[in-house]
Chains A and B, each alone.
Chain A
């Protein structure tokens, strides 16, 4: 039935179904997509990312994973990370960042830093309420604000955190095994050295005598 006005009429029927459906029919009521933001918080999927944060195990000061190798500072496309290495009292460089600033007004959340960090120390957070009134100071997050515990990391990205811990565990085991192997090798080498030394002593007393 396509009399001249039928197309418009069909269109009107569709918008009427949506209109009255939103009140009476459950399927259409689900179509109302507006979330009442302050009251209803959006449920983000697990992998969602916004800005990076630094992970620490146990104590923020000593347990920080970052060793201030500055790879992420170099790799970051918009160059928004600033790192200064820590120095102990007599000026020797320590493997710890004294200053670690991320300017989140420049950062675009591309997580290239997460990929390029060999020490699994920087990860992506999913906070989205970071707006502030003044444009400069409060948008540059200092180290203190960036440091978050490993437990927090487990809470926001469980699978990814588990993989990271597994990788760290495997790396540590490998290091220990390597250390043990090295220790054994050294012990073996020392034992061999003593044995040789002992052998020489036993052979030297005959020659001296």
Chain B
């Protein structure tokens, strides 16, 4: 029963992230949404490790640690791209970056 509650919480968190990514027009808000979704993913890993049959294998925790490391790298590169976009288009409005022509 408790596992399902935790999974529900992480699902809600994931949907908040999804909402942010879909509705907000600012590139940084999109990145914030992605961070939330990654956090939700980590929460699931830890939940499944907590309720697994033999937790001494620590697989869930390993996944969570590596995913945190990657999320940090991803955030760094994402924000660098956002800054470059801002420098080119003078704004971070996602709808303005439409010139990906050939």
Q: Do chains A and B touch in the complex (CB under 8 A)?
A: no
Q: List residues of chain B with CB under 8 Å of any chain A CB.
A: none
